[in-house]
Amino acid sequence: MSAPPRFAQRLVEVSAQQLAKFGSETPGIALAVLSSGDGFEIASHRADKAVSAKIAAMGSSLQALSEAITREAGLKDARRLIIESDNGCVLAMGIGGTNPSLSLVVVADKSASLGHLLWSAKICCTSISRAIAG
Amino acid sequence: MADAGELKIVFTGPMGAGKTTAIAAISDIAPIRTDVANNDHVAFDKEATTVALDYGQLALDDGLVMRLYGTPGQERFAFMRKILCAGAIGVVLLIDGSRADALTSLDAYVDEIRAFDPMPAMVVGIGRCPSADAPALVQSSAHLERLGLTLPVFSVDVRRREDVMLLIETLVCVIEAGAHTEENA
């Protein structure tokens, strides 16, 4: 007997659709992974399984650390974490109010505009949140 | 009181072994936690799981301050254990003695810890053992000896401060013995 699927099929399908839309409409995205709060991949865009599984786990750790440090600093909810490098950037952000809790991790190359990336990522997260709530 | 220094200690072991609980049992501060809802009830049926780290602090009577880090237990978070164990002088390895795969977990974590250079001092706490001669406890000690490791192994209830303090105090002794041995080498 196989274990039941970890996540609802609708969540997986909606997430894959939204990531594909986000990836196709936003310049510079190398890969994007949506993961559960505890680090399981739900959907990914332009990432093979070995990479996306690692990114999913790392993304959930980054999200949890972001929330922990904002909590300890007495700030309100963490919105996003941006890691900039010479060759691009990594963006990690939580999607509030969902069950399971979700995190989006995006890796972008240096052709990406950070402002455009943040704006598009926010729209992607809102779309996923609305779709699974509706 | 004179500053007696700080030690970095890491609590590690598989999911559900009690790392978060152990740190909470002895920390002088409210521990920093990164636990989230657990979606893997097949691996371990519990509500929440650590995905980045736990952090607590413990001041000993001699002024020594221990920085206590807890790791996630799942394989997918092995990268966090590598980060957290960097610079650690001691490791408390916790194993759930009630699980059928206790020795397999022990093997895997001992291998992981032995790979760190330098290898930190280590003590092992076996949880959920019904008695002092419980099979998991006896087998763990024997198993470690077969691996050529002579490590302190205790039965612990990580909810009890005195049990966790026994692990910490033993670990300090192992660290001091190691330093003494190196000085005389």
Interval A89-123: pLDDT, tens:
999 999 988 888 999 999 999 999 999 999 999 99
Q: Is the pLDDT of residue B2 over 50?
A: no
CA atoms lying within 13 Å on the CB side of residue B5:
4
What domains, with CATH codes, occur in chain A?
Answer: 9-133 (3.30.450.30)
The pairs formed by A9-14 with CB atoms below 8 angstroms and a separation of 24 or more are A10/A132, A11/A42, A11/A132, A12/A42, A12/A43, A14/A128, A14/A131, A14/A132
Cα pseudo-dihedral B13, B16, B19, B20, rounded to 10: 150
Q: What is the pLDDT of residues B138-154, one digit of tens each?
A: 888 888 998 888 899 99
Distance between CA A36 and CA A34 in Å, rounded? 7
pLDDT number for residue B3 = 58
Question: What's the CA gap between A35 and B103, in Å, rounded?
Answer: 31
Of B32, B38, B79, the CB nearest to A38: B38
pLDDT at position B41 is: 86
DSSP class of residue A101 equals: -
What's the whole-number average pLDDT of chain B?
A: 90
Report percent pLDDT > 90 for chain B: 69
Q: Given an 8 Å threshold on Cβ–Cβ distance, is A101 in contact with B76?
A: no
Beta strand residue intervals within B22-136, DSSP E = 35-37, 48-50, 54-59, 65-70, 90-96, 121-127
Residue B129, pLDDT above cutoff 90: no
Query: Residues A17-69: pLDDT tens digits?
Result: 999 999 999 999 999 999 999 999 999 999 888 899 999 999 999 999 999 99
Name the residue among A39, A67, A68 with its Cβ closest to that of B76: A39
pLDDT, position B1:
41
Q: Above 50 in pLDDT, residue A1?
A: no
B161-184 vs B19-26: helix crossing angle, rounded to 10: 90
Judging contacts by C-beta atoms under 8 Å, the chain B residues touching residue A37 are 36-37, 39, 51
The whole-number pLDDT of residue B179 equals 67
DSSP3 helix / strand / coil % (chain B, rounded to 5): 35, 25, 40
- Judged against a pLDDT cut of 70, whether residue A4 lies above it is answered with no
CB contact under 8 A, A61 and B32: no
Confidence of residue B130 (pLDDT cuts 50, 70, 90): confident
Contacts of A61 in chain B (CB under 8 A): 34, 51-52, 72, 77, 79-80
Q: Higher confidence at residue A41 or residue A133?
A: A41
Kindly tell me if the per-residue pLDDT of B183 is higher than 70. no
Any bridge partners for residue B184, and if so which? Answer: none
State pTM to two decimals. Answer: 0.89
C-beta of residue B51 within 8 angstroms of C-beta of residue A37: yes
Question: Looking at beta carbons, which residues of chain B come within 8 Å of A95?
Answer: none
Tell whether the model's pLDDT for residue A2 goes beyond 60: no
Q: What is the mean pLDDT of residues B65-79?
A: 96
Residue of A nearest to B52 (CA): A61
Angle, to 10 degrees, between the axis of helix B78-85 and the axis of helix A49-72? Answer: 50
Strands B48-50 and B54-59: unpaired
pLDDT at B133 over 90: no
Question: How does pLDDT run across B78-101, given as a tens digit for each residue?
Answer: 999 999 999 999 999 999 998 888
Q: ipTM > 0.90?
A: no
User: Reduced to 3 states, what is the DSSP secondary structure of residue A15?
Assistant: helix
Q: From its phi and psi, is residue B155 left (phi > 0), alpha (psi between -120 and 50) or beta?
A: beta
How far is it, in rounded angstroms, from Cα A24 to Cα A26? 6
Show Cβ contacts of residue A105 under 8 Å, excluding neighbours closer than 6 positions: A32, A33, A34, A35, A55, A56, A58, A59, A62, A90, A91, A92
The overall average pLDDT reported for chain A is 92
Residue of chain A whose Cα is closest to the Cα of B33: A68
pLDDT at B42: 83
Q: Are strands A102-109 and A29-36 parallel, antiparallel or unpaired?
A: antiparallel
Residues of A with CB under 8 A from a CB of B: 3, 6-7, 36-40, 53-54, 56-58, 60-62, 64-65, 67-68, 72, 99-101
CB pair distance less than 8 Å for A101 and B37: yes
